[in-house]
Structure 1
Amino acid sequence: MTKQISCESHDYFEIVCMRHSKIQLTLKDHRSVLGVARDIIRKASSELIVVDSSEGVVEVDLIDVVVLKALNNPIEAHNFEMVF
């Protein structure tokens, strides 16, 4: 069975991708990914967020994200933090 996140959580990922927001992801293994949110894609049975980072394009499984921060975006209301 495919592991999934809640619809509400998914909405936040879609919002940052739609806005091409600057984001920071904190993962279950405590790694951090910093960059610009680009898209959500499906590979096999996983949904991945595509992030343009200083290391290049990074794909992160949504179920591995424990904190999503939208930060340093020009419109203050577009900056937020979600803990999953």
Structure 2
Amino acid sequence: MENKETFLFDRRKYMILIAGLVMLAIGFGLMLGGGSENPSEFNPEIFSAKRVGIAPWFLFIGLLLPIVAIMIPKKSV
């Protein structure tokens, strides 16, 4: 009897998981910066559209993709 190793997911699912991790990294990268050197000064850059509007969507998609990768059925070969 041949003992054949099989992976939990197929290649397509692993690619979706990696895409989710990349989206999370991009989302957190977009949120970086905007702080002030002096804590008593206010920097309005922390409320930029990039940090408040775009980055959360990247994070949401980055969290959603691994769920999708787990839930989609395996391709039958």
TM-score under structure 1 length normalisation: 0.23
Could you say which structure has the greater relative contact order, defined with CA pairs below 8 angstroms and 6 or more residues apart? 2
Task: Point out the structure with max Rg over C-alpha.
Answer: 2
Higher helix share: 2
Structure whose residues are more often strand by fraction: 1
Q: TM-score, normalised by structure 2?
A: 0.25
